[in-house]
Structure 1
Amino acid sequence: MSTTIRTVGLLSNTDAAAGTQYYRHIRKVVKEQLGDLSSPNLVLRTVNFAAVIELQQQGRWEDARKYLANVAYSLEKAGAQCVLLCAVTMHLVADCIDSSIIVPLIHVVDVTAKKLQENKHSKPLLLASGYTMEKGFYQSRMARNGVDVIVPDECGRSAVHNIIFNEISEGVMLQSSRDILISLINTAKSQGADSVILGCSELTALLDVNSLPLPGYDSTILHAQAAAEFAISKSDA
């Protein structure tokens, strides 16, 4: 008997790296579960990342909310049965986006928290963009799931943000930057952290999530995994 695959809506930025990672992992899971000829049903919208970053830098979060909410709504109208934001930073406005659509928004923090809980990790270090580490939305949502997120100090946060946006995003991979990230993980470990979350897809270009001083969680892969499971799960329809 054939399996109905539900349609996943992906809202990505114009830097194709994250969207590509989502597509590849969702496709991999669907093929593994349903057979080589199976493929996911996806609806993809990309947004001008430069425009989103400019809005963020100007503190115009309400404009960012409206912009991304309209894009999410267009995914729903195109047939998406769930929506994912393929950038952790975009989740700062996730509540507004969620309220603008009827279909579920699969939240990256919730799926990451679930995996942490499964492995009995409750105090992860978060490495991500400065916006994600500093705005508090990530920590507060994790706290609702019983997880106490810690972040590097101000100097460390600045270093991570710079590595993401001024190096990795520009195709620059430096061993010295990898050493900085590993040092931040070791510092957090000495302060009681029991795991580390790579909360930005770019970081996996420098760090192997399976070869870190602490157990690692790639939030992009976990998020994509949740989307794949939604796609192949039985619908009530």
Structure 2
Amino acid sequence: MKTIGLIGGMSWESSAEYYRIINRDVQRRLGGVHSARSLMLSVDFGDIEKLQHAGDWDALTAEMVAAAQSLERGGADFIVLCTNTMHRMAGAMEAGVAIPLLHIVDPTAEALKGAGVQKVGLLGTAFTMEQDFYKGRLAGHGFEVLIPEAEDRAAVHRIIYEELVCGEIREPSRAAYRAVIARLVSAGAEAIILGCTEIMLLVRAEDSAVPLFDTTTLHAMAAVDRALA
């Protein structure tokens, strides 16, 4: 079994889900009391969040590259970055280590292809929805990507940073997400990508008229695939 190097803490709520999903899937596949070989370097999201909203992507890049290098030195065979937004610096991270990075978009794209989807709605932080690092990679896989209107993007972003990263699950926020999803479906989305690793804590299958693709679960299970390959 290969050793999974996890960069977590963004937020720890979703990192805990990665750990749970990975270990349960390893046990399911191997049986008995098996669990995953893994290392996790967990950052302080208070520092990360401030740099994100200050737009200091250079400092964030340096932080992520250093984290990846620490995991490489610790014996990780590949890197799993347990967040969507910080894949903005995936290229720099790949250049900074000799071991591979399992990009979160790629297993999501494979699942979408398997479902025959072409036009997808994307939910995530404002950075993920608005910047090209994520939408561009999806487009490279052949998808047309729809994002919410500005007011909806602001609401989705606010709920992530003010509630979900703190583990707060509120019914009014679920209703707000349900409405945003409905508007994306009305615009032609055939599926919805939960493109922030905390959204899976709030949104459920019954909240959408089209299939939901949870990047947290897809990424974690792809990590197990690679670890056991």
TM over 0.5, shorter chain: yes
- Unaligned ranges ≥5, structure 1: none
Quick one: which of 28, 38, 43 aligns to 1:42? 38
Q: In the alignment, does 2:156 pair up with 1:163?
A: no
In the alignment of these two chains, the number of paired residues is: 229
SS at match of 2:80: strand
The aligned counterpart of 2:196 is 200
Name the CA distance, whole Å, in 2 between partners of 1:122 and 1:15. 30
- Residues 1-237 of structure 1: matches in 2 within 5 Å? 5-13=1-9, 15-209=11-205, 211-233=207-229
Name the CA distance, whole Å, in 1 between partners of 2:104 and 2:66. 20
> Which amino acid counterpart does residue 134 of structure 2 have in structure 1?
Y
Q: How far 1:200 moved relative to its partner?
A: 1.5
Name the CA distance, whole Å, in 2 between partners of 1:137 and 1:99. 16
> Which amino acid counterpart does residue 28 of structure 1 have in structure 2?
R
Normalising by the residue count of structure 1, what TM-score does the alignment of the two structures yield?
A: 0.93
Name the CA distance, whole Å, in 2 between partners of 1:61 and 1:37. 41
Name the CA distance, whole Å, in 2 between partners of 1:82 and 1:189. 36
Name the CA distance, whole Å, in 2 between partners of 1:46 and 1:169. 14
SS at match of 1:207: coil
Name the CA distance, whole Å, in 2 between partners of 1:72 and 1:210. 37
> Which amino acid counterpart does residue 5 of structure 2 have in structure 1?
G
- Unaligned ranges ≥5, structure 2: none
Name the CA distance, whole Å, in 1 between partners of 2:172 and 2:29. 40
Name the CA distance, whole Å, in 1 between partners of 2:72 and 2:206. 35
> Which amino acid counterpart does residue 41 of structure 2 have in structure 1?
R
SS at match of 2:169: coil
Name the CA distance, whole Å, in 2 between partners of 1:212 and 1:33. 30
Name the CA distance, whole Å, in 2 between partners of 1:113 and 1:46. 26
SS at match of 2:154: helix
Q: How big is the alpha-carbon RMSD for the aligned residues of Structure 1 and Structure 2? A: 1.3
Normalising by the residue count of structure 2, what TM-score does the alignment of the two structures yield?
A: 0.96
Q: CA contact under 8 A between 1:89 and 1:129: conserved in structure 2?
A: yes
Q: How far 1:210 moved relative to its partner?
A: 5.7
Q: How far 1:102 moved relative to its partner?
A: 1.1
